Structure 1
Amino acid sequence: MYRYILEDARHVLPFNEPASKLIIGTATLSFHHDEVFSQVFKGGLKLGDSFKLAGQMHNIRDDEPAFVYRDSLWFDSEYVRVFIDRSKASGKACQAAIFTDEKERAFTSYTLPLSASFETKGTDAKSGRPIAMVDMWYFPKGYTKDVLPIAIDSESEPRGFYSVPDFMAQDKVEELTHYLPKYALLSIESWVHIFYASVIFGVFTRGYRFEEQIKHHNFTALKLLWRGIIEQRQVLTTSEAVKVGKDTIIDPSAVISGPTTIGERCYIGPGAVIDNCTIGDDVTVSQGCQLMLSTVANNCFLPFRASLFMSCLMSGTIIAQNTCLQMCVIGRDSFVG
């Protein structure tokens, strides 16, 4: 199968770069695409042409199937896998779509707002629900204008991000809830979408899926328990839930709960608390830092008692001591004090 890229040259403010070059989580969006495709297409994808306009897609080869996508889309492997499987089963040229009605909470809450890239187009033939088309196609034998919409429901579940007593939340529980999808897709057109991709659809959804895996798969639960017995640790702090790269130094007094991923050559200082985060390579997290539901890209420095909650740091960022960031997206090579 060939892979064709529809280039999106629009710059995302305030970073003044195309979406494909921006860091989502700990890597650029284009690198994220490569990681997703390596999981979905086990036989690999041949690299086809890049198109600046959708009208150039008639140049797609017809000797092998083709997968075409716009390079400003962020998606997970689950979304691409179900789209490809359903497209192959249909035997026709297909285009991905998302539902836009009130039943679809994740896509209507996070994907559609602030985005101009989704074309509303009638209703789904099977369910009768309204849909919007996504710039993602599957062509089994060359380009054709006649495509079958493959509408994918996110199958999201509401999850709270604060543990607030009922008497304090009163009638505002909905405001403390996010919708975490089984199948995730976004168009990166704003810094808000970077936040959604990195945190809501990223580490937060990863934690939810991890919990569901433990609940419904006894083997996963037994692996965690067995690892906890061997390592004499609480199960969510074991190496089964916390993945650490080589040459990383972690102080024994640091508390790290999974699912968390830490890259290579990092330093985690005394008393640091890290809960469900993704940390890149060559990152320093000094003594007393607290990180929760956040992503920290390569070469960042957090001095003592810096705190992150549901925030994203792009590479080369320095946070001043005693600084607390909540629901922020910080660009490359920045200093926050």
Structure 2
Amino acid sequence: MIIIVGAGSHGLSLAYHLVKKGYSKKDITLVEWKRIGYGSSSRNAARYRYHFYSKENVEYAINAISYLKKQSKELEYNSLLLRTGYLWVINGEQEYSLFKKLDSFWSSYNIGGKFIECKDNYAYIKFEGQCYLAPQDGAFHHDYILYSYYYSIKDKVSTIYDKVVSLIKDDSKIKGVKLSSGKELYGDKVIVTAGAWSGEVLSSIGIEVPIFPEKKEIYITEPLRYFLEPLIIDSKLQIYFSQTLKGEIIGGIEDKREYKFEEFTISISNAIKFLKGIRELIKGIDGIGILRGWSGYYEMTPDSSQIMGYSNDWPEGLFIDAGYSGHGMMFAPYSGKIMADLIADNYKNKFIDIFSPSRFKLNKLINETLVI
């Protein structure tokens, strides 16, 4: 029996890929605490990008986005995959030097962008100076990916709505999970895909995995005519935003918070900061208001990169796929495939070693700093 802890995008993607390999309801149990996609999978801005700071994440993104595009044609619902670009506003010489370095690095992977005069290319931007455009990046609709997976597998796996309070193991092997209801489920393979809660699940048997919740907020304005194509990032104003096809401006602010679990609420002061920021940067939106908002977690790790696979000192049969530090939704389709190959076929993709939980003990951290 395979037990998957967490029915977000990564748990559902894994189950989907296992079902494609011939596994069925008698083989897979999915355990979800609240509801499908309760965590970060339904609380994100639904964007994809190739452009990371580390070679490890750039290489992963190249593979993952290629697979995301393939999945978008295969899945039941239209994921509205669009190539809209990312646009960084360059504030000062230090940022310009950084993006010159990054552009050279990205160009070596054939994903280089270009420096442009913001105002000349985007008449609606008030900023006078250079921007960096990465035209390959884009957007999708996370719910359609999430529920495509769910409706494809809901009758082909067993699903239990309960909270995992502890893993069960003997000296060397995983045995299953204990639920808050007191019930125990037994299986020889357990995969933790519980997002920001993954560290808590593993700590129940003394395994410390550095995954920490950082609350983030997203705001959506009233709709306007569609004119903001790229995702715009301005580090000085500490905002990022783009526009939905419906015309709403969607985005958030770059506020750093203490790592901890908090209520899923939004802050009025942060919403006002977001509104002031977009009004300061974009023409013709004075008077626009916030329509709605939500909050969720970035599941942060010390090197802002995902944790996949297993550690050799873990009980046999225990795996993890979590810690995506703000870029989990776009990686979920590919991650599910990699994990399914590992669990079903014992095929170890190179990224399993790169993003292994062992890297923290071995001091082989990934130098990822470009978190948005």
- Normalised-by-shorter TM-score class: under 0.3
> How high is the TM-score relative to the length of structure 2?
0.25
Greater RCO structure (CA 8 Å; 6+ sep): 2
- Structure with the higher fraction of residues in strand conformation: 1
